[in-house]
A = this chain, B = another copy of it.
């Protein structure tokens, strides 16, 4: 395997040595080529992709960043795209085709390999984020009566077609999945043994409509590499491979991190600025309204502030620590939900824990703040007001930071949407109201 650095490729491009470049990029590992194209200056990306032969191009295309692939697909000749897609596995072909304009994809589906085309049309019907949307139809499935040597012959015939076989699936007369057989086990089996004798009957599978997050949980929990996909009547439809699940896990982790701060998952490092602006604006607008709400709570105490302006100086401390405490709790709880650790059997324990942590931290940090305020302003009452307000607010932080995502999960709303904007609004209101409210009562 040749290795070539980004700088070498860039220099070939800058010196217009395209024949040398063509030779190189077709010899690199496709994953390396994809990474280099992703990082090249925009003007060289399409040019470099054009130099790839169809087979390499079919491996590179799915690994490109969305924005890069979009640009390349806009500039590609239809005949070439047909040849590239013919080389792809069905799950990847489906993903690419679903990104195309409808009229383009329609024409394309007429031109590619007939059998593939039918399968892709079927795959396009499944929700992109379901087991059906992840699966490929390239599988080795055998009838339960098939003998060892027949199975080996069957694998031989399909070896080029199906990558990463590792397991073959065993079905009954009605194409219902009844077992799974590791290739290694087949290798060690005696000649006359039938599939049903050597297969593992305890087969873990996923329904075609299962959400991709649940599919990832199955891989996570059972430590498997390949998962067969079935319909409601146990008919075998396809399989999902673990490399696609790694993408799902990355995607879901990004999505969760994104939702926490009100970002859409398509808003990536290299999304165009205008497109990012559009995506972030609705959430910032919501944030403007939550900020106005917070401001109106402060407004209730404007008279107090007018008399005691140092309250305005100290009030960000109460709100700031409450906000941070609240997002800490929120993060622990949403990660716990995402990894499947938090279930119906243990939620109250989790909420109780977060509230306790909030109160204890509130007492500790509140006492420190009390002391500091006293030392700075020489006013013991002010210190007490600050300290008590912080305890109240960190209790609120523990409560809303845990209760809200759990409540949303129970209501089957995505808990990651209980974003920091909402939690911070509540801790801001809690902080300002408790601090200024106490001050109004105590510091007359």
Return the contact of A186 from the options B38, B187, B290 (Cβ within 8 A). B187
* Interface 9-residue window, one of A47-55, A93-101, A229-237, A420-428: A420-428
Residues 286 to 344 of chain A near chain B (Cβ within 8 Å) = 287-288, 290-292, 294-296, 298-299, 302-303, 305-306, 309-317, 319-321, 323-325, 327-328, 330-336, 339, 341-343
Does the CB pair B284–A336 fall under 8 Å?
no
Q: Which of A250, A292, A320, A428 has the most CB of B within 10 A?
A: A320
Return the contact of A420 from the options B202, B306, B327 (Cβ within 8 A). B327
> How many monomers of this chain does the complex have?
2
Does the CB pair B361–A269 fall under 8 Å?
no
What 0/1 readout, one digit per residue, does chain A (412-425) give for beta carbons within 8 Å of chain B? 00000000110010
Residues on the B chain within 8 Å of A187, using CB:
152, 155, 183, 186-187
> Is A369's CB within 8 Å of the partner chain B?
yes
Number of interface residues of A (CB under 8 A): 121
Q: How far, in angstroms, from A222 to B32 measured CA to CA in the complex? A: 9
Residues 212 to 262 of chain A near chain B (Cβ within 8 Å) = 219-225, 242-243, 245-247, 249-250, 253-254, 256-258, 260-262
> Is A65's CB within 8 Å of the partner chain B?
yes
Dominant secondary structure at the A interface: helix
Residues on the B chain within 8 Å of A161, using CB:
none
Q: How far, in angstroms, from A313 to B35 measured CA to CA in the complex? A: 50
- If A343-B39, A349-B270 touch, whether A263 touches B31 (CB-CB below 8 Å) is no
What 0/1 readout, one digit per residue, does chain A (136-156) give for beta carbons within 8 Å of chain B? 000000000000000010011
Task: Please provide the 4 A-B residue pairs with the shortest distance between their CB atoms, ordered closest to farther.
Answer: A269-B336, A312-B312, A253-B253, A223-B243
- 6 A-B contacts (beta carbon < 8 Å): A186-B187, A256-B257, A268-B336, A280-B325, A324-B421, A324-B424
